[in-house]
Amino acid sequence: MLFDRIRSVRHADQYSFMALPTEEEVQASIDLAERFIERMERLLKETRGKAG
């Protein structure tokens, strides 16, 4: 039973991911998402314009 407890603690420590992103990483992800959405919106407008 002791080994089971030690094993579960070890697994939680080794396999959990608790890193918190920095403010810069969060902002970079938001900027990238905004650029992606803008690009998709442009592509949709271009595609709809050709279909009609």
Query: Which of the 8 DSSP states describes residue 1?
Result: -
Query: Residue 21 and residue 28: Cα distance in Å, rounded?
Result: 11
Query: Residue 33 and residue 29: Cα distance in Å, rounded?
Result: 6
**Alpha carbon 33 to chain centroid, angstroms:** 10
pLDDT digits (tens, 9 = 90+) for 13-48: 666 666 788 999 999 999 999 999 999 999 999 998
Query: Would you state the pLDDT for residue 33?
Result: 96
pLDDT digits (tens, 9 = 90+) for 2-20: 767 767 766 666 666 667 8
